[in-house]
Chains A and B, each alone.
Chain A
């Protein structure tokens, strides 16, 4: 009996309360990847020596075009993919050498649906808790807590095959959260989810991060990355081509393009010194504005020409422009390298 109570207390301490951690003299990285390489059996070199550090508590974006190596990297971190060489440390524990210990820290929301669609959400989430050694009572409580938080409680005992696409995505987030991981990896969690649910998912993930969980996010919605993440790495063709904080990256954007809707039609585009203005149609202007020029200057120049602007928007997301620029530049240098080697 005493042993049972003791065991229970140990679990309560481990899983229910989070005692304050001792200050660490050395910065603790949630993820530290060193010279990571992966070559698949078919000869495809998915990762070509990647090194990356994600600080504890960070909200980190991992971006890249399709086939860049993002999912391979996530697969190695979550131990679903065996690295060819290199090291992966999760909170200082090697995934390659101490897999079990490292995995206690991780929650994964994969890109593809990977739960048994014949099971009910409650079973799926509470079983996952069991796989992490969480006692049944705590597992049930946590299952209810996360299913409620992700607005899935009313579907908790419905066969999960019958859930909508958005609900299935949220179910995978609830499942990943049930072991209350220190590092949550989200591989395109909002793919195919409508905007309302996407925003509620952002709020949820933001709260998780505010509570201290490190979050790594891959997404094709660059607006999502720009709004949520503090640091960013862009991966392309198995290499990191940019690794910085979001503000610094956005600050490198020299020119921003705006689309202006006009009240009255104009016959030709106005010429303003230092700005490139194109007439898209008689009531729409596209203005490329260098960062050193102010919007006030643009508006005063247009006002002096009796041009009234009724609305304005960015032509593309700022991060999107940077992302495309970096990937194109990398493609250019890769092609040049190939030509040199030929």
Chain B
């Protein structure tokens, strides 16, 4: 099979995903924009004024990177899990399974689709934040790379969830009971330096902490963790999850009987 066939196959999956995201924009783009606007108003404006500065920035400025990365995490994960599980549940994943496309192209196509949704929502949230505060990007390369890698990590995690899920309840469990607590405890709204030492030590086991702080470093130039730790955690997670996904697709777990 030549590279052009794989490239066309990849483009088709991505186009299909983008069409889906834009067709149901009322479910994919609007809700996170409304939720994040409420966060900005309630936490940033109303409560934030009483909290005062954090890390040398106003509270509103401090939480913007966290809220952007939170949107990227939930939307890239949510897109992958709902789209892939939907295809599995509706059996139209068979269109891809009987095609000559290798598993890594299928994975790449779906990851790119989820990445696009994450980035679209992230961009919308960032634009909304500009209504409330003024932001300057300190390290553009760090900002973009952390954003991309984070979206990749969570779309891969979403794929694993979708592969193992057997019913719609199964795709809600991880976001509700794992993803949301880890995101809220990952330093979106606070610096872990404010926590007692014990909880600071616990927090370092939360991978989302590194993503939030990496992105915050890119925008504001401040972070609770080092940049090396951030990239180490994200790249390792992306590599491990990619291998896991490919292995599951190769075995046909949950897809081929």
* Co-assembled chains A and B: yes
Residues of A within 8 A of B (CB): 7, 10-11, 40, 75, 78-82, 99-101, 103-104, 106, 108, 110, 112-118, 123, 127-128, 130-136, 175
Q: Once the chains bind, are A100 and B252 in contact (CB under 8 Å)?
A: no
* B100 in complex: contacting residue of A108, A110, A123, A132, CB < 8 Å: A132
Q: List the count of A-B residue pairs having beta carbons below 8 Å apart.
A: 89
A123-B1 Cα distance, complex, nearest whole Å: 24
- Whether B94 lies near A110 (C-beta < 8 A) is yes
Chain A residues with CB under 8 A of B23:
118
A167 to B23, CA, bound (A): 24
Q: B97 near A: Cβ within 8 Å?
A: yes
> Lowest 7 CB-CB distances: which A-B pairs, in order?
A133-B5, A130-B12, A131-B99, A114-B91, A100-B100, A103-B100, A116-B92
**Any A CB within 8 A of the CB of B176:** no
* Distance A131 CA – B93 CA, assembled complex (angstroms): 11
Task: Please tell me if B207 contacts chain A, counting CB pairs below 8 Å.
Answer: no
The reply to whether B100 and A104 contact each other, CB–CB distance below 8 Å, is yes
Q: A40-B257, A123-B19 are in contact. Are A134 and B8 (CB under 8 A)?
A: yes
Q: Which chain B positions have C-beta within 8 A of A79?
A: 97-98, 256
Is B47 engaged at the interface, CB distance under 8 Å to the other chain?
no
In this complex, what residue of B is CB-closest to A78?
B98
How distant is A308 from chain B, measured CB to nearest CB, in Å? 56
Write out the residue numbers on chain B whose beta carbons fall within 8 Å of the beta carbon of A117: 90
State A108–B98 Cα separation when bound (angstroms). Answer: 8
Q: How many residues of B contact A (CB 8 A)?
A: 31
Residues in B whose Cβ lies below 8 Å from that of A112: 91
- Chain B residue numbers with a CB within 8 Å of A131 are 9, 12-13, 95-96, 99-101
Q: Does B108 contact A (CB under 8 A)?
A: no
Q: Which of A78, A100, A106, A114 contacts B92 (CB 8 A)?
A: A114
- Given A101-B1, A106-B98, check contact A135 B256 (CB 8 Å): no
Bound form: Cα–Cα A130–B256 in Å: 22
Considering the complex, give the chain A residue whose CB is closest to the CB of B95.
A128
Determine whether B11 belongs to the interface, using a CB cutoff of 8 Å to chain A. yes
Please, which residues of chain A bring their CB within 8 A of the CB of B175? Answer: none
Asked whether, in the complex, the Cβ of B19 is within 8 Å of the Cβ of A11, the reply is: no
Closest B residue to A118 by beta carbon equals B23
Q: Write out the residue numbers on chain A whose beta carbons fall within 8 Å of the beta carbon of B96.
A: 131
Question: Residue-by-residue, is B13-55 near A (CB-CB < 8 Å gives 1, otherwise 0)?
Answer: 1011001000100000000000000000000000000000000
By a CB distance below 8 angstroms, the chain B residues around A135 are 8
Residues of the B chain whose Cβ atoms lie less than 8 Å from the Cβ of A127? 12, 15-16, 95
| CA–CA, A133 and B1, complex, Å | 9
Chain B residues closer than 8 Å to A134, beta-carbon distance: 8
In the bound assembly, the distance between CA atoms of A108 and B94 in angstroms comes to 10
Contact with A along B86-124 (1 / 0, CB 8 A): 010011101111111110000000000000000000000
Residues of chain B within 8 A of A82, CB atoms compared: 252, 256-257
Known: A75-B257, A114-B91. A133 touches B6 (CB 8 A): yes
A133 interface neighbour in B9, B19, B91, Cβ under 8 Å: B9
Q: Is the CB of A80 within 8 A of B257?
A: yes
| Pairs across A and B, CB under 8 Å, 22 listed | A11-B4, A40-B257, A78-B98, A79-B98, A79-B256, A80-B94, A80-B97, A80-B257, A82-B252, A82-B257, A99-B100, A100-B1, A101-B1, A103-B98, A116-B92, A123-B19, A127-B15, A128-B95, A128-B99, A131-B101, A132-B100, A133-B101
**Chain A: minimal CB distance from B88 (Å):** 11
C-alpha spacing A177/B94, complex, angstroms:
15
> Are A115 and B4 in contact (CB-based, < 8 A)?
no
Pairwise interchain contact B257-A81, C-beta atoms closer than 8 A: yes
Nearest Cβ on chain A to B2's Cβ, whole angstroms: 8
Q: How far is the CA of A137 from the CA of B257 in the complex (A)?
A: 35
A130 B252 Cβ-Cβ under 8 A: no
Q: What residue in chain B is nearest A79 (Cβ atoms)?
A: B98
